[in-house]
Structure formats: C-alpha cells, structure tokens
Amino acid sequence: MSSVRLIDCLATTAELAGIFSDGATLQAMLDFESGLARAEASLKIIPHSAAREISKSAKADGFDLDALCAAGLRAGTPAIPLVKALTARVRKSSAGAARFVHWGATSQDVTDTALVLLLKRAEQVIRRDLDDLERSLRRISVSHAQTVALGRTLLQPAPPVTLGLRAAGWLGGVQRCNRRLRASFEDALVIQFGGASGTLAALGGSGIRVGKGLARELGLGYPDAPWHTHRDRLATLVCACGVLTGELGKMARDISLLMQYEIAEVAEPGGEDRGGSSTMPHKKNPIGCALTIAAALRTPGLVGAYLSAMVQEHERATGGIQAEWPIVSELVQATGLAVASMKEVAEGLTVDAKRMKKNIEATRGLVFAERAMMAMAPAMGREAAHEILERAARQVTEQGRRLGEVLAGMPEVAGHLRSKISQLETPQDYLGVAEEFRKSLLKDEF
C-alpha cells in the first residue's frame, strides 16, 4: 500500500512520504535508543549485554502505532510512550537490560534526533534530484544558446533574449539555492542529547563522551552543546527550503506561461494520463509546473510558522517544540516535490524555436523600438527620440504596419536611420551581452 495519503498526493512524492512515514519515524526514534545504548556500553556505563538486548528490540515491526499516537497525544510527546513500549519489549527477554533503556536521555533528545535522522535521509533524495535538475538546465542552456525568443516584462513583449540565457538564469538560481541548502543541512544534521535540563547531569562527567559516541553511531554531527530551545539551525534549513521552493516556483511560472496555447514556445513532457483534462480531451496541462507552484504557495506560511515557533522559553519549551514535526515534515516534502517536479519538466522540456521566431515577428517590430530610439538619440536627444517612437508605435498598432516601414516614412527619422532600418528588426543583432551573461551563469569562459 502506498505511504502517500490521498489528501497529500499533490504535496509529496512516494519516496519522501516513505521517509516521513509512521514506520520510518518510529524507526528513527528507536535508532536513537539503540545508538545510545551502544555508545554507553562502549564506555562501560551500561552492560554490553543490555545494549545488545535493547538494539535487538529496537525494531519498528510489532509496535502498536495507533496506541503510540494516542498515548503521545496524552503525554505531549510520542517519546514517552515509545520508551515505555520499548522497555516492556526488552523486559520480555531481559529484565536486567530493561533497566538501561533511555539511560540518561530525555524525551526531546529522542524526538529531535529522530527528526534530524529523517532530514538526513531526505537530503540525499533532494540533493540527487537537484543535481539532475542542474544538469538538465545546463544542457538546455548550451543547446539553445542562440535560440532567440521574446523577452517579456510585465507580461508584455520586450526586446529579445535567448532561451539559453533564460535557462541559465533558472540554473543560476537553483545553484545558489543548492549551495545554501547544502550548508544548512550540514549545520543542522547534529544530534540532540542534553538530558533533562541540557546538562546531562544524570551521566555525571561522561555526558560529552556518550554524546560523541551516540553521534558516531548515528552518523550525525556533535554540537557544541544541546540545543533544546535554540532552533536556529533548523530555522536556517527551513528558510533555505523556502527560498529554493520559491526559486523553483519562478521557473515553473515561466514555463507554464510559455506553454499557453497562444504562446506555445515550450512544453512539458507528456505521457499517458499526464496533463489531461476530465472534460477537454485536447488539453495538455503544465502539471509539473502546477505542483511546483502549489508547493511554492504553501511554503511561505510553513516557514513563517516555524520562525514563530522559535520563540522558546528557558531550557525546554511549551508549545514550540510540539509545533515543529508537522511543519518541518510538510515543508521538506513540499520542497522535495518541487525539485522532483522541475527535474522531470527540465529533462523532457520540448522547445519550439520556430514558434519563438513567429512570436517575435508578430510584434511587427515593436520590440525593437528601444533599438531605434537609441540609434536616433545621439543626434536629437533621447527625449525627442522617445516621443517619435511613441508616435510610430501607435501607427504600427493602429495601421497594422511594421515599425521599420513606419519609421522609413517619417521624414524626421529617415535621415538618422536610413542605413539601419533594413536591419532594425533582426533579433540576433540586438542581444547585447546575453551570451556573456549566459556563460557567466554557467561559469564558462567567455
């Protein structure tokens, strides 16, 4: 049976839903307990035999998840009923070993470290898909370095750009976000281990050694000190996810607009049951873009909710920590869905260069008004040239003529542009330093 709930089917992927599933979350909590026992046994704080029994029992199979959830709601944390259930399971095989379950830890140590373990697994999925997305965007940019398309400002036609530059812009944003995300994951993937008040007093002078051993067991970093009410590391990760999802949303918005039937310059990959309509058989909807935009619309609220929950009192907080699990889980899954969706879009994106050329031609040269104005301005001044081009643009619109034709018939213009009018509407001649910018974004040599 799928680990994705129906209500979440547009909010996550099967892979990420599996990572944050009940079974995986439970196992992450149990991994903390078994790792703690092994670390303490290695320091002779508890018997090795007890650590073996605890590790053997710390398997998610057989635990009553419904009962744990119900008891967790009563206790204010799922860690308390989990420790009780694990202790009871260990006791069945060794009453002596059961005495050492959860030795020196506190409930928040379990839940925070379990969340970090889930984040570590999610990072691998998101990083893989981000790397694939970057490769596809680089390929598009290189392949279409000279593919000229309309620039669009405020949704209106503007001087031409290249699809290669546009794709390089998407790539540059993704790369910057990827760097920030990796750094924030690296900072956040540390254990939580502080005991009741963050001093590990129950372990005497052995607390730091146990903590470092636990970190090694779990493959996580060891922080300078417990961070029960200092949530800045996770907050930075949350913000990085929000920024990345917003950047992907920008890319998705661009592509979905370019897919409109009357524009039709690019298209998402299709396939059976993808992008169709329940009533309109002709439709090819931008599904990957839609899922990404939906994720980008959700994440700001989740980021804000997490930042609000950072205001936590003293050594252990009331309310803030209880708010975090669903926020972080939903946010990371939304981010991963956006990355996976845009990866699929970029890998299969089709480009219609002929349609791009046709859309430029459909403006009847109006997008080159700036070019004409700048050619005239040195002789008559920019303001005067701007006024003339405004008049010419109105004639183009009202009379259905081309800009070059209108300008050629204006006596005050012809002398200044006579030698240039024939080339005025050549898109390739008005790209400025687009290629230099494209290569800069790709970190290629000029």
Task: Report the pLDDT averaged over residues 171-175.
Answer: 97
State whether 268 and 409 are in the same domain. Answer: no
Residues 161 and 273 in one domain: yes
Structural domains of the chain, count: 3
The confidence band for 2, taking pLDDT boundaries of 50, 70 and 90, is low
Q: Domain limits at 413?
A: 366-424
278 band by pLDDT with thresholds 50, 70 and 90: very low
Q: State the amino acid at position 154 in one-letter form.
A: L
Q: Looking at per-residue confidence, does 251 or 284 come out higher?
A: 251
Domain endpoint, select from 36, 71, 105: 105
Name the DSSP class of 401. Answer: -
For residue 446, is pLDDT > 70? no
Rounded CA separation 39/33 (Å) = 10
Are the CB atoms for 75 and 81 separated by under 8 Å? yes
Q: Is residue 180 situated within a structural domain?
A: yes
Q: What is the pLDDT of residues 118-143, one digit of tens each?
A: 999 999 999 999 999 999 999 999 99
Closest CA to 258 of 149, 140, 142, 138: 149
- By percentage, how much of the chain surpasses pLDDT 90? 87
Q: Which residues contact 209 (CB under 8 A, 6 or more apart)?
A: 43
Neighbours of 180 (CB within 10 A): 17
In 303-444, DSSP assigns E strands to: 350-351
Mean per-residue pLDDT for 8-15?
93
Residue 215 covered by a domain: no
Same domain, 351 and 374: no
Q: What is the CATH number of the domain that holds 35?
A: 1.10.275.10
- Between the alpha carbon of residue 339 and those of residues 130, 134, 169, 366, the distances in Å are 6, 10, 16, 37
Q: Which residues are catalytic?
A: 277, 316
Q: Are 158 and 151 in contact (CB under 8 A)?
A: yes
Same domain, 55 and 176: no
Rounded to whole angstroms, the Cα distance separating 399 from 203 reads: 87
Examine residue 25 and state whether it is found in any structural domain, yes or no: yes
Count of helix runs (H) and strand runs (E) in the chain? 18, 4
**pLDDT tens string 332-357:** 999 999 999 999 999 999 999 999 99
Q: Are residues 58 and 94 in the same domain?
A: yes
158 membership: H or E segment, kind and range:
strand 156-162
Residue type, 254: D
- Which residues are bridge partners to 350 per DSSP? 267
Together in a domain, 146 and 237: yes
Q: Are residues 371 and 398 in the same domain?
A: yes
Q: What is the pLDDT of residue 375?
A: 87
As a whole number of angstroms, the longest Cα–Cα distance in the chain is 103
- Residue 312, domain CATH: 1.20.200.10
Residues 390 and 287 placed together within one structural domain of the fold: no
> What pLDDT was estimated at residue 284?
78
Q: Of the candidates 76, 105, 134, which is a domain's last residue? A: 105
- Choice among 207-216, 266-275, 282-291 with the minimum mean pLDDT: 266-275
At residue 410, does pLDDT exceed 70? yes
Looking at the domain assignment, is residue 39 inside a domain?
Answer: yes
* β pairing state of 148-153 and 350-351: unpaired
Residue 410 maps to a domain: yes
Each residue of 291-317: pLDDT tens digit? 999 999 999 999 999 999 999 999 999
Q: Report the pLDDT averaged over residues 134-160.
A: 97
Look up residue 319 and give its two tokens: 């309310």
Can you tell me the distance from the alpha carbon of 339 to that of 247, in angstroms, rounded to the nearest whole number? 10
- 99 and 58, same domain (yes or no): yes
Listed in order, strand segments (DSSP E) in 346-404 are 350-351
Mapped onto helix, strand or coil, the DSSP state of residue 349 is: coil
Say if residue 241 is in the same domain as residue 307: yes
Name which residue leads in pLDDT, 340 or 411: 340
The mean pLDDT of the chain is 94
pLDDT at 98 over 50: yes
The residue written with tokens 């398309």 in the block is 149
The answer, yes or no, to whether residue 276 has pLDDT greater than 70, is: no
- Domain assignment present for residue 217? The answer is no
